[in-house]
Amino acid sequence: MKRNRKKYSKPCTAVLAAATAFVFTGCGSYGIQAYQSTDIAMGTVVTQTIYAAGGEEQGEGITGDILRLLRNLEQEKLSWRISMSELAQINESAGQEAGHGLSEDMEEYLAEILAAARVSGGAFDPTLGKVTKLWNIDGWTVGGQGEIPPAKEIQALLEHTGYEKVNIRDHRIYMEADTSLDLGAAGKGIASDEIKAFLEEESKVSGAVISVGGSILTYGQKPDGTPWQIGITDPQNPGSSLGKLSLEGSWCVSTSGDYERYVEIDGIRYHHILDPSTGYPADSGIRGVTILSKSGILSDILSTACFVAGKEKALELAELYEAELLLVTEGGEIVMTEGMKACFTPYTS
Ligand code: AMP
Ligand code: MG
């Protein structure tokens, strides 16, 4: 996987005048055409707009290849539900003295994930597997019905969570008994990185915007040379946008919000981002966080970590990782890093 982790250039050279957000034309100059598709993969909606030379067949081929890449990533690596996946086998090995041998890719993902768990003081916690299962987060439909698990059961499971329960040595992972990984907070960002690596090989693609759930990849250029326009959802009113980001070139934009997946129980909203110290939905005063970074996995990790950590710690984390951040508080305040301000144009009502 090719990733630029260290020094990132600024996301945009200037704030540019508004074009229609997230709408693309069918045809560009120099024989470059736009292809669009919407599908389901990795348990979420995947929308692709690809700018490439060649006929329709070419566009269909590329979007189809990307879908296959996502489905393979889920089935072979990241899904805890598919018993043959590497993650399921790692979980199966918990408590075994021999541990489990890691693929190169998985070792790389886990190194990033465990480092972020440490640096965030445990706000990001990949070992919540049994807790997210107990809440049945995967089974929730937005705004649907659910049940609050018994407090005693949550408490008992928290005994087996925490990044310190996981060790990686000599390309093998060792987990304590009853510890279980859930990489749902990093998987869509990993997908963005893998898609980007694929597009870099696929020379016919000059530009693309690909959204996998809450993670969006911009790649290359639009045929007319204008920046990519990415809408930022208003957490108070998820049907509309707060504003848009204007981005030059390739970037990863990940958003975590309390409106993305939740159930209502007795009039109270229980969302899918848990505070690892309590096992209940995080109550940090934040409703949504968007992170802009060159790295997909980091943008996904950080949007979740910052949501849990709260405003002050979120700003520290963004600075540490040289990522740009936008967060929306419960009171509706929008807080941004300087680099984010330079890309963001608010929609005024
Ligand atoms: P995201 O939408 O990227 O913020 O990821 C949320 C998903 O990650 C949830 O559906 C859970 O599967 C898992 N998760 C929930 N809370 C946490 C947390 N504090 N740290 C890591 N993963 C989490
Ligand atoms: Mg995330």
* Alpha-carbon dihedral angle through residues 218, 85, 67, 49, given to the nearest 10 degrees: -20
Q: Which residues contact 60 (CB under 8 A, 6 or more apart)?
A: 35, 37
d(CA 308, CA 98): 34
If you measure from the C-alpha of residue 106 to the centroid of ligand 2, how many angstroms do you get, rounded to a whole number? 17
Distance CA 302, CA 314 (A): 8
Q: Are 204 and 59 in contact (CB under 8 A)?
A: no
**Residue 289 bridge partners (DSSP):** 256, 327
For residue 290, how far is its CA from the centre of ligand 2 (angstroms)? Answer: 10
Please work out whether the CB of residue 182 comes within 6 Å of at least one atom of ligand 1: yes
- How much distance in Å is there from the Cα of 254 to the middle of ligand 2? 7
137 lines ligand 1 (CB under 6 A): yes
Does the Cβ of 299 fall within 6 Å of ligand 1? no
Ligand 1 atom with the smallest distance to the CA of 308 is 19
Q: Which two three-digit tokens encode residue 187?
A: 């998987």
Report how far residue 330's alpha carbon sits from residue 271's, in angstroms, rounded to the nearest whole number: 14
The ligand that comes nearest to the alpha carbon of residue 300 is 2
Which run of H or E residues covers position 215? strand 215-220
Residue 30 pLDDT: 63
> 187 alpha carbon to ligand 1 midpoint, in Å?
10
Pocket test for ligand 1, best of 112, 128, 131, 216 (most atoms within 8 A of CB): 128
Low pLDDT (below 70) residues in the chain:
1-30, 142-143, 349
Say which ligand is closest to the CA of 272.
1
The pLDDT, as a whole number, for residue 44 is 93
Give the pairing of strands 251-257 and 215-220.
antiparallel
How close is the Cα of 26 to the center of ligand 1, in Å? 36
Give me ligand 2 centre to Cα 66, in Å. 21
pLDDT at 145: 79
Is the beta carbon of 185 within 6 A of some atom in ligand 1?
yes
- Report pLDDT for 219: 98
Residue 27 confidence (pLDDT): 47
Q: Which residue has its alpha carbon closest to ligand 1 atom 12?
A: 184
Q: What is the pLDDT of residue 349?
A: 57
Q: Any idea which ligand is nearest the CA of 293?
A: 2
What's the Cα-to-Cα distance from 270 to each of 156, 210, 285, rounded to whole Å? 20, 29, 14
141: its two tokens: 């439909």
What are the C-alpha distances in Å from 57 to residues 22, 50, 54, 170, 206? 24, 12, 8, 45, 16
CB 109 within 8 A of CB 297: yes
Whole-prediction pTM: 0.91
Beta bridge partners of 286: 329
